[in-house]
Amino acid sequence: MAFAARLADCGVESLVVPLMEIVFEPAAGADLDGIRAVLLTSANGARALAAAGSGRDLPVIAVGPATAQAARQAGFAVMAVAGGDVVALARTVCDTLKPDDGTLLHVCGSVVAGDLAAALGGAGYTVRRFTAYQARTARVLPDDLAAVLRAGTADGAAFFSPRSAATFVRLTREAGLGGTLERLAGYCLSEAVARELTWPVWGVLRVASSPDGEALARLICADAERP
């Protein structure tokens, strides 16, 4: 994982523990008839659309830098990059395109954060939704993560999405390990992520200066007093 490699470069050891499994929907592709641009609210959306073999001739508006990078790697042309959440994405769409430019395709998972179609519909845009993947959350706390929490050998935990943060909180509570987090720092990609970590008590919650992996890595490395 690139994030773990970035932390290793500054001397921070990390344990990568997936709390969600991404499953692409078995579909031939999205209905692209009349589509002006593709709206991506996650990097997985870019990967799923690429796997479906659709849309590479359409410009992409990405929710944030990580999603934009994934879109470029999948062969899409990125028209604009928003500030990291659905509100910022809607604002970027309004700054980039006019409502009569054509229908917009929102590529997303089976669970979405915020109502992008409603936000843009109120401004006169037409948004078509394509559910391209499912993000299935873990049912129990992974053994390696539980062992680290019990042993008290971790200094912090990093979270990239509100759903992964909420899943961590739920699984930690169910495992009876909420009290182990009061000595940890919680590192969050955005304020939306941090809001999901209000329970249990953390040693400190820190939010990256911008919603991208590099900013989050810099924050962790700086706290570790490493470049």
Quote the tokens at residue 216: 């989050």
**With contact defined as beta carbons under 8 Å apart, do 200 and 179 qualify?**
yes
- pLDDT for the residue 200: 78
- Burial degree of 164 (CB within 10 A; 0-12, 13-18, 19+): buried
* Residue pLDDT tens, the chain, 227 long: 689 999 999 999 999 999 988 888 765 567 788 999 999 998 888 888 888 777 788 999 999 888 999 999 999 999 999 987 888 999 999 999 999 999 999 998 887 766 898 899 999 999 998 888 888 899 999 999 999 999 999 999 999 988 899 999 999 999 999 999 999 999 999 888 999 998 878 999 999 998 888 999 999 999 988 65
For tokens 């344990």, name the residue: 15
**Which domains occur in the chain, in start order?**
2-19+138-223 (3.40.50.10090), 21-136 (3.40.50.10090)
Amino acid at site 90: A
- pLDDT for the residue 79: 97
Residues 6+ apart with CB under 8 A from 198: none
**With contact defined as beta carbons under 8 Å apart, do 56 and 75 qualify?**
yes
**With contact defined as beta carbons under 8 Å apart, do 132 and 48 qualify?**
yes
Biggest CA pair distance of the chain:
58
Quote the tokens at residue 96: 């980039």
Beta-sheet strand order (sheet of 204-207): 156-159, 185-188, 204-207
- pLDDT for the residue 165: 94
- pLDDT for the residue 31: 79
- pLDDT for the residue 29: 66
- pLDDT for the residue 168: 96
Other Cβ atoms closer than 10 A to 46: 28
pTM given for the model: 0.77
- pLDDT for the residue 24: 83
For residues 155 and 14, give the distance between their C-alpha atoms in angstroms, rounded to a whole number. 10
